[in-house]
Chains A and B, each alone.
Chain A
C-alpha cells in the first residue's frame, strides 16, 4: 500500500511540475504544426502530392518534435538533487526510469496523440487512415519514450554535445518509423505489423530499466 502511494504521489508531483510549465508542452505542439506549415510551403499546395506523402510527414515531424524536449527528461531532477531524494524514498533507479518513461508518455506524447487528428485535416489524410495512425503512434510513442529515457540518462553528464541524445533516439527509431508508416499504407497486414511494433516495444521496454537505471546511478555517483 505504501509502495502504491509512492507511485501515485510520484505522478502527482510530475503532474504539478508539468502543469506549472504547461507552455513547454504546448511549444512542442506548436513546433509540430509550424513544421507542417513549413513542409507544405516547401512542397507546394498540390492536394495530390500532399495526401500521398502526408503520413510520412506527420510521422517524421512527430518523431522530431517529441525528441525536442528530451533534454528535460531527467536533467532538472538530476541537477537539483530530486532524483537522489526520490531514490532515498525507496524507489530503485530502474523503477524510477519506468515511472519517468510513463510520465513522459503521459505529458509529452499524449498531447501529440490529441493533435494528430488536426494534422490529418491539414494534410488531407483520409479519415479511415486516422485510426491506423493513432494506433501506431499510441504504441510507437511509448517505445519512443523508452528510447528517450535511455538516451537522456546516458547524456546526463554530457555537458558539451546536447544534440547527441536526439541523434541516438532517431537512429534507433528507424524500425519504428518503418513499421508505423507501413501500417497505414498496408492496411491488410494490420495485425502482423502491430505485433511487430509490440515486439519492438517489449524489447526496448525490457532494456530501458537496466540501461537507464545504470546510467542514472553512474551519473549520480560521479556528479
Chain B
C-alpha cells in the first residue's frame, strides 16, 4: 500500500495501471450507456427522465467521496508529514469540483421537466451547491498564495475545517428545507430503486470511479513533475 503515500512508488504503479484503467472505463461507459438508454425500463412516474439519474447519482457519490478522500489525505499530510497528501489535494480538487458541477447540472436538467424549474431550493441541491463553492475555494486558494509551503498546508487545514463544518451545513440546510418546503419534492427525489434500474446505476458508478481515478493519476503525475522541475 506504499504507493498511496509515496510519489515514486505511485508513479510506478500508475504507469502500470493507467492504460488498462482507461480502457476498462470506456468499456464500462459504453455498457452503462447502453443499459441506461435501451435496456432499462421507463419510470412509471418520471418517464424517460429517470435516465438522467444514471449520470446524476454516480457524480453526486463521487463528489462526496472525493472530499472524504481529500480529508483523509489532509490528515495524513498534516499529522504524519506525508507531502504526497498535499500533492493529492492540489491535483484532485478540480476533479471533485467537476463531479459536483455534473451533479448540479444533471440535477437541474432533471428538475426542469419534473418540477418545472431549473432550480429549486431543495435541501440536496443547496448543500451540493455549497459543496461546489467549497471546492471552488480550494481551487482558488491554489492560485492565490505565492509561497507553496503555506499554500498547501493552508489548503489542508481548510479541508479539515470544512470536513467538520460540512455536516453541520448539510444538517442545517436539511432542517431549513423541511421547514420551508412541502414534502412532495423530497418524496420524488428519493425513489426506491428497482433492480432493473440498479444494474445500469452500478455500471455507471464503476465507470465514473475508473475515469475519475484515471484523470486523478494524470493530474497527480503532472503535479509531481511540476514540483520536481520548478521548486518555487
Contacts and interface: CB of A to CB of B under 8 A. Distances in A.
A complexed with B: yes
Interface of A: 150, 154, 157-161, 164, 167-168, 171-172, 174-175, 178-179, 182, 200, 203-204, 207, 211, 214-215, 218-219, 222
Interface string B142-171: 011111011101100110111011001101
Given A157-B147, A214-B157, A218-B150, 12 more contacts: A154-B158, A161-B143, A164-B137, A164-B140, A164-B144, A172-B161, A174-B169, A178-B172, A200-B168, A203-B164, A211-B161, A222-B147
A26 to B, nearest CB: 31
Given A157-B146, A171-B133, A222-B150, A179 B172 contact: yes
Contacts of B146: 157, 159-160
Nearest to B156: A214
Interface string B112-155: 00000000000000000010011001001101111101110110
- Quick one: which of B151, B162, B168, B173 has the most chain A CB within 10 A? B168
Contacts of A179: 172
B176 interface: yes
13 contacts: A154-B157, A157-B150, A158-B145, A161-B144, A164-B140, A172-B161, A172-B165, A175-B165, A178-B172, A178-B173, A182-B176, A214-B153, A222-B147
Contacts of A159: 144-146
Tell me which of B130, B137, B147, B165 has the highest count of chain A C-beta atoms within 10 A of its own C-beta.
B165
B3 interface: no
Contacts of B164: 203, 207
Contacts of B137: 164, 167-168, 171
Contacts of A200: 168
A206 to B, nearest CB: 9
A178 B175 contact: yes
B179 interface: yes
A98 B28 CA distance: 53
